[in-house]
Chain A
Amino acid sequence: MPIYRTTLGGEVFRFSNLAEVMAKATPARSGDALAGLIATSDVERVAAQMVLADLPLKTFLEELLVPYEEDEVTRLIVDTHDAAAFAPVSHMSVGQFRDWLLSDAATPAALTALAPGLMPEMAAAVSKIMRNRDLIAVARKITVVTAFRSTLGLEGRIGSRLQPNHPQDDLKGIVASTLDGLSYAVGDAVIGINPATDNIPTAMTLISMLDDLRGRYDIPTQSCVLTHVTNSIEIINRGAPLDLVFQSVAGTEAANEGFGVTLSMLKEAHEAALSLNRGTMGQNVMYFETGQGSALSADAHHGIDQQTVEARAYAVCRAFDPLIVNTVVGFIGPEYLYDGKEIIRAGLEDVFCGKLLGLPMGCDVCYTNHAEADQNDMDVLMTLLANARAQFLIGVPGADDIMLNYQSLSFHDIAYLRNSLGLKAAPEFEAWLTAMGLVSETGHLLQSDLGAARLLEAAQ
């Protein structure tokens, strides 16, 4: 085992193992403090970052943070590691890898080819010594294209999930919010409902309603009811028109157990959804959600810092060719990400690591009312993530989710990103928006209310 030690400013810093180096090298956040893993001073953090920068990337293949025998996520990571894809960077230290990522040598094609060769721990490690601007610059170079009825991740575009939740799953209320979102050109990544009542009959009712709505307007997008993977399997068996299978996942087997999910369940669900063959542009049928802190909150983090565990969740996601992956960055609360600064940092880390590992990574730019954050912080993060070319962001009416009791982005915010940054919706969806008279040729919302009126008319 290597010796993790450095001398800095005349002081010797020693770290007992790789997990401690990783944790102490992590930019400060409340969840690592809660877990007792955080650096005890800013200088100790930099010392850990210096040790980390000098470590060979290969270290992560040799020293597993969570034992192979104990954890199926570790086994997945090790067993699917692509040594040939890793070869171009296999001689590098973590610091050299950072330099390479930022260089012109790391072209979009080179980054795409590299993804299967990277372990999540390598992505997490390099992110810890990258500044926010570095994370944005590299993430922006990475293109991950996925498709179902719309094609996501193409150059110059940003997708959006339309989230029309209602506290009583009221169908009229959900339709009202959906039409509102469509009138803002939101919903090209998915129209996705978090059901208030998490059972199979409710989910089936909602799925059928969304499918009818989509059919009535002939919208080139996909729908999803965010219910447990075992419910989705049953719903498929009962013949409901299910587009995407949803599941929350985490970076350790024990944390996934807390979600009631295993890799074999996900495999079964993936195969079941593929068998329906409902996609027209592609067959990416999975929608995953993750978020820093979920493993710690399930007491299943194995002494690993929350950002590294989060990156490990991406190994679970990429095994099932998802259409979209969403880090719900500020949802879990201030004991994991205390304020706007920590939420912004985490959002950028997650999108960077996800894209680097080859995932269609998006973000729910969000916060709870007990976090030290407000809509201004969300404005900053959404603008940064759009520049980092996140696959998609989430929009809810007026940024206020009345079912989950937290704040995300508004439909207006998605329109702002597209208008101000010159980004467009998915091409199939954009064609539909244009035909409906909702957007101009440049993708701007039209000032005329004709498109919205057409939507409303059909709803009567």
Chain B
Amino acid sequence: MTDVMKDPWAKLRAATPARIGLGRNGAGLPTGANLEFQFAHARARDAVHSGLDVDALEAELSPFEVIRVTSAAPDRASYLRRPDLGRKLWAGEADKLNARTPCDVAFVIADGLSSAAVQSHAAAVVHAASAKLEGLTLGPVVVATQARVAIGDEIGAALGARLVVLLVGERPGLTVADSLGAYLTYGPRPGLKDSARNCLSNIHGKGGMSYDQAATKIAWLTREALKRGLTGTGLKEESGVLDQENAPHIGEA
């Protein structure tokens, strides 16, 4: 039941990334397949629990001005147990953002549930998207740690931004542990519902959305949102770069 059993499955295995045709010993998973699984799970857990290297991220974001803030969640364990804390700024952090010239668009980068996703993709997406936002004023890039999507509302309001583009590490899966999501919110202010945002998900390098595709969609949504004065269910993404319908929705917010 090892090689003899596996070969007939080769054709089927090509049809799906699912873990099929693994073979078995009795009802047990073969050692190799078992360790492969453990590796994938370990990588996903590391993506959740590793801290974001903000210095490295700031260097990559150059020449943008970067402001660092933390959420009200004091550590990872609190962050995971208390989504409400990850959605608001630590007391006093808003002071770093006040008294700025109002801008059209502010990028916010939140570590979310995968610092690996943010580390790998966030700066590249900011650069690619901002290049397509000619004619609009951009605020500083705010990097928020222990942060969830809704923290962008408070940040955007404090900055006086008309719209916030928040990039966030999505809940890691076994196959892809570094998937980035982007949430666009017009008129950011605390208390907005998720239905008031537009979302792109699955920005990553393993068959996901490319930086350029993401940037095109972000730019299209940004311009339409500013023109129409809204984001959310009233604004359908129609830039037509790729069919988003099959993208699984990952419940990060």
Residue from the list A172, A196, A333, A419 in contact with B27, Cβ < 8 A: A419
- CB–CB A412/B20 < 8 A: no
| Residue contact A30 to B28, C-beta cutoff 8 Å | no
In the complex, residue of chain A having the shortest beta-carbon distance to the beta carbon of B6: A449
**Docked-complex contact A415 and B27, CB < 8 angstroms:** yes
Give the CA-CA distance A447 to B44 in the complex, in Å: 34
Task: Report Cα–Cα, A276/B135, bound state, in Å.
Answer: 60
How many Cβ-Cβ contacts under 8 Å join chain A to chain B?
146
B172 CB contacts on chain A under 8 angstroms: 369-370, 405
Which residue in chain B gives the minimum CB-CB distance to A418?
A: B27
Q: Interface on A for B, CB 8 Å cutoff?
A: 30, 33-34, 164-170, 172-177, 179-180, 184, 196-197, 199, 333-335, 338, 368-370, 374-375, 396-400, 402-407, 410, 412-413, 415-416, 418-420, 445, 447, 449, 452-453, 456, 459
Contacts of A333 in B (CB 8 A): 251
State whether A176 touches B16 (Cβ < 8 A): yes
Q: Does B26 contact A (CB under 8 A)?
A: yes
Do A338 and B248 contact each other (CB < 8 Å), given the known contacts A176-B15, A179-B12, A412-B27?
no
Asked whether, in the complex, the Cβ of A410 is within 8 Å of the Cβ of B29, the reply is yes
A residues near B248, Cβ cutoff 8 Å: 167, 196, 403-405
A177:B113 contact, CB within 8 angstroms:
no
Known: A168-B246, A369-B45. 15 other contacts (CB 8 A): A174-B16, A176-B15, A197-B245, A197-B246, A369-B174, A375-B41, A398-B19, A399-B37, A403-B248, A405-B171, A405-B248, A410-B19, A412-B28, A416-B27, A459-B12
Smallest Cβ distance from A336 to chain B, in angstroms?
10
Closest Cβ–Cβ distance, residue B161 to chain A (whole Å): 27
B37 close to A375 (CB less than 8 A) = yes
Instruction: Report the separation of the CA atoms of residues A368 and B174 in the bound assembly, to the nearest whole angstrom.
Output: 10
Distance to closest chain A CB from B100 (angstroms): 33
- Asked if B15 and A420 make an inter-chain contact with CB atoms under 8 angstroms apart, the answer reads no
B42: shortest Cβ distance to chain A, in Å?
9
Within B199-253, which residues are at the interface with A (CB < 8 Å)?
245-248, 250-251
Asked if B96 is at the interface of the complex by the 8 Å CB criterion, the answer is: no
Which residue of chain A lies nearest to B112 when distances are taken between CB atoms in the complex? A370
Chain B: CB-nearest residue to A456: B8
B18 touches A449 (CB 8 A): no
Please name 24 pairs of A and B residues whose Cβ atoms are closer than 8 Å in the assembled complex, sorted by A: A165-B18, A166-B16, A170-B15, A173-B17, A173-B18, A180-B9, A196-B246, A199-B245, A338-B80, A368-B171, A369-B174, A370-B113, A374-B41, A396-B18, A397-B16, A397-B20, A402-B18, A405-B173, A405-B174, A412-B27, A415-B27, A416-B28, A418-B27, A459-B12
Instruction: Chain B residues near A396: list those with CB within 8 A.
Output: 18
- Min CB distance A140 to B, Å, is 22
What's the minimum C-beta distance from A203 to chain B, rounded to whole angstroms?
13
What residues of chain A lie closer than 8 Å to B124, measured between beta carbons? none
- Name which of B5, B13, B83, B248 has the most chain A CB atoms within 10 A of its CB: B248
Closest A residue, CB atoms, query B40: A400
Closest to A372 in B: B80
Within 8 Å CB of A174, what residues of B?
A: 16
Q: Name the interface residues of B71-99: CB closer than 8 Å to any CB of A.
A: 80-84
Shortest A31–chain B CB gap in Å is 9
Q: Are B15 and A172 in contact (CB under 8 A)?
A: yes
For residue B26, which residues in chain A have a CB less than 8 angstroms away from its CB? 419, 445
B22 interface residue (CB < 8 Å to A) = yes
A196 partner residues in chain B, CB cutoff 8 A: 246-248
Cβ of B8 and Cβ of A453 under 8 Å apart? yes
B104 to chain A, nearest CB (A): 33
**B136 contacts partner chain A, Cβ-Cβ < 8 Å:** no
The answer on a CB contact under 8 Å between A369 and B41 is yes
The reply to whether the CB of B1 lies closer than 8 angstroms to some CB of chain A is yes
* B131 within 8 Å of A (CB atoms): no
- Do the beta carbons of B171 and A415 come within 8 Å of each other? no
* Minimum Cβ distance to chain A for residue B12 (Å): 4
A165-B21 Cα distance, complex, nearest whole Å: 16
A167–B24 touching, CB < 8 Å: no
Decide if A400 touches B37 in the complex (CB within 8 Å): yes
Whether A335 contacts B246 in the complex (CB less than 8 A), given A173-B16, A176-B18, A456-B12, comes out as no
CA distance A170 to B12 in the complex (A): 12
B83 to A: closest C-beta gap in Å: 5
B175 an interface residue at 8 Å Cβ cutoff? yes
* Residues on the A chain within 8 Å of B28, using CB: 412, 416
Q: Is B165 an interface residue, CB under 8 A from the partner?
A: no
A30 touches B81 (CB 8 A): yes
Contact A398 B27 (CB under 8 A): no
Q: Are B81 and A334 interface neighbours, CB within 8 A?
A: yes
**B18 near A400: Cβ-Cβ < 8 Å:** yes
Which residues of B have CB within 8 Å of A164? 18
Interface membership of B56, Cβ < 8 A: no
A contact residues around B82 at 8 Å (CB): 34, 335
Distance in angstroms between the alpha carbons of A406 and B12 in the assembled complex: 22
B33 contacts A by Cβ under 8 Å? yes
| Residues of B close to A197: CB separation below 8 A | 245-246
Could you tell me which residues of chain B, from 34 to 68, have a CB within 8 Å of some CB in chain A? 37-38, 40-41, 44-45, 47-48
Partner of B12, one of A176, A199, A418: A176
Whole-angstrom distance between the alpha carbons of A129 and B174 in the complex?
37
Contact of A412 among B12, B24, B80 (CB under 8 A): B24
**Complex-state Cα separation, A164 to B21, whole angstroms:** 13
A445–B1 alpha-carbon span in the complex (Å): 12
Query: Complex: how many Å from CA A369 to CA B33?
Result: 19
Given the complex, which residues of B lie within 8 Å of A179, measured CB to CB? 12
- A169-B246, A370-B113 known; A180 vs B29 contact (CB < 8 Å): no
Question: Contacts of A375 on B, CB cut-off 8 Å?
Answer: 37-38, 41
In the complex, what residues of A have CB within 8 A of residue B44's CB? 369
Instruction: State the Cβ distance, A108 to closest chain B Cβ, in Å.
Output: 29
Give the distance to chain A from B62, nearest Cβ to Cβ, in Å: 31
List the B residue with the shortest CB-CB distance to A176. Answer: B12
Give B50 Cβ to nearest chain A Cβ, in Å.
12
Chain B residue nearest in CB terms to A446: B1
